[in-house]
Each structure stands twice: as structure tokens, then as C-alpha cells.
Amino acid sequence: MRKPDSKIVLLGDMNVGKTSLLQRYMERRFPDTVSTVGGAFYLKQWRSYNISIWDTAGREQFHGLGSMYCRGAAAIILTYDVNHRQSLVELEDRFLGLTDTASKDCLFAIVGNKVDLTEEGALAGQEKEECSSNMDAGDCVSPRAPKQVQLEDAVALYKKILKYKMLDEQDVPAAEQMCFETSAKTGYNVDLLFETLFDLVVPMILQQRAERPSHTVDISSHKSPKRTRSGCCA
């Protein structure tokens, strides 16, 4: 197997939907999941490049492994649940420190998942109301609640991350491009999330290749040595 050209890591609290997002993208479905143990990865071919996408465990007991998974990462997807404010708080308190091992020009995406469960998600046609047509409108109780975390909160966290990493806003993609709201259940924005990141890491791969000293010897330009009378090389 060829070594991956780049690495993307999903981080975030347990139950926010990291595994579901990855399975929705890679397998085009929303299967039942079990809480992740340690970590696992998928390989995605994007154009001619191999990108590994790592799913990590959000459970506290696996916290120590997080920085190991982030080592050398070109992009990190910090995931929260739009219905649980604490899951956004945890990104800053518990997960951001794990990203210190990532590549120095690592990109960050902030992803609020499970929008299908919110009133806004319903308005955006995320999921059909499960009401029978002979019910009164009043009987049709929606389980959805207003979003607990707004996109602006994610944008504010993105800007804090730039400060923490001492990055200049002008040198990195804009917050509006890197903060997403998704639903692994319906697929909403899932392709956009992953493919935006793939397109951003490709130039990083090319830059790394250009900076790396070449170990390739061009044998076509090599002249054969002249033979001397003794049969030795001059």
C-alpha cells in the first residue's frame, strides 16, 4: 500500500457524530454506530492523491491517544453537536491542545453536526415531518428544538484557534469557508465538508513535494565510463 500523501483527522466529544459523518461520506449511508474505541482510518483517493481520514474516539478514556492521531495532520475537523453547547466548549477545552502535534500549516474546519434535529434543519427540508395526513396539525408534535449553538459561535471559535496558533487571518481560509453545519443522517453538507478540505490539502501536498529534496537519480543523463586498455575504468 502506498503511503498516504496527506492526513485529515476528526476530533470531538463522544456522540457528536464523527463516525457517522465519515461513513456517510465514504459509504454513502447512515448505519448504526458503536462508540469508537481508539481510532480507525479510511483511505480516500482524491485526484491522484491518497488521503487518510482518521476517526478518533471522543470518550474521555481515549483522550491520551488524540495527539498521536493528530501527528503530522494537514487538516483537523473539530466536530460538535449543534444541539449540545457543551460539545462546542469541549473543543476548546479538551481537544484543541491535542492538535499541537499537527503539521505547522494545519487547516481547521469546525463542524456542527445533527442539524436535522433542529427546527432550522426542518425548515431547510432536512427531514420530512413524520405525521400522518389524517392528524390535526396540533397533534403533530415535532421533536425538534431550536439550535443550541449558532454558526457564529463556531466562527468565533475558529478565530480563537487562529490566535492560539498565532496564525494571521489573511494566511488561512476564511472562517465562513471553514465552519460547516452538517447532518450525517441526511447527508446535508457532508460532501461539501470533505471535498473542501481535499481541495485545500492538495496544494499543501504539492508544496511539501517541492520542498523535499529529490532522491531520484536521472540515469538517462549518466555517461558510461570510458574503458581503458587494462579493462579498468578511467
Ligand X SMILES: Nc1nc2c(ncn2[C@@H]2O[C@H](COP(=O)(O)OP(=O)(O)OP(=O)(O)O)[C@@H](O)[C@H]2O)c(=O)[nH]1
- Residues found near ligand X in the complex (CB under 6 A): 14-20, 33, 35-36, 57-59, 113-114, 116-117, 183-185
Nearer to ligand X, 83 or 103 (CB): 83
Distance CA 161, CA 24 (A): 27
Residues binding Mg ion: what is the number (CB under 5 A)? 3
Strands 75-81 and 6-12: parallel
User: How far apart are the two ends of the chain, measured CA to CA in Å?
Assistant: 43
Distance CA 69, CA 8 (A): 10
Characterise 166 by phi-psi region: left (phi > 0), alpha (psi -120 to 50), beta (else): left
Per partner kind, with CB cut-offs from 5 to 8 A, the member of ligand X, Mg ion, none near residue 7 is none
Nearer to ligand X, 89 or 204 (CB): 89
Nearer to ligand X, 4 or 12 (CB): 12
Question: What's the closest the beta carbon of residue 129 comes to Mg ion, in angstroms?
Answer: 29
User: Which grid cell is 130?
Assistant: 413524520
Examine residue 56 and tell whether it contacts Mg ion (CB under 5 A): no
Per partner kind, with CB cut-offs from 5 to 8 A, the member of ligand X, Mg ion, none near residue 181 is none
- Report the residue from 23, 36, 83, 87 that binds Mg ion according to the rule CB under 5 A: 36
- Please count the CA atoms within 13 angstroms of the CA of 82 that sit on its side-chain side: 25
Examine residue 19 and tell whether it contacts Mg ion (CB under 5 A): yes
Per partner kind, with CB cut-offs from 5 to 8 A, the member of Mg ion, ligand X, none near residue 113 is ligand X
**Which stretches within 45-189 are classed as H helix?**
66-70, 85-90, 119-123, 151-164, 175-178
Question: What's the closest the beta carbon of residue 79 comes to Mg ion, in angstroms?
Answer: 10
Where on the chain is the footprint of Mg ion (CB under 5 A)?
Answer: 18-19, 36
